[in-house]
């Protein structure tokens, strides 16, 4: 695998990537990415998932990975 300085990879919890502590009145940061891969997506609750989807920019590709049950 060759390294490419133009490719940036960031990882973290959804809370940390959105810079959101969980308080309802708090705003989340927009998420600028070409591709977002979320592991353990079956563990995301509805309010967090709504904030996450709202933070994505148009054209961002999203891959959700999770358990089938």
Model confidence at 36: pLDDT above 70: yes
Distance separating alpha carbons of residues 37 and 61, to the nearest angstrom: 8
Average pLDDT, the chain: 85
8-30: average pLDDT: 82
Give the per-residue pLDDT at 59.
Answer: 95
Which pTM value belongs to this model? 0.76
Distance separating alpha carbons of residues 20 and 16, to the nearest angstrom: 6
For 49, counting Cβ atoms within 10 Å of its Cβ (0-12 exposed, 13-18 middle, 19+ buried), the class is middle
């Amino acid at each position: 695998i060759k390294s490419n300085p133009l490719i940036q990879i960031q990882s973290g919890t959804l809370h940390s990537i959105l810079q959101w502590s969980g308080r309802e009145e708090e705003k989340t940061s927009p998420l600028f990415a070409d591709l977002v891969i979320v592991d353990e997506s079956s563990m995301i609750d509805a309010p967090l998932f709504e904030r996450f989807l709202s933070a994505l920019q148009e054209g961002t590709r999203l891959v959700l990975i999770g358990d089938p049950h």
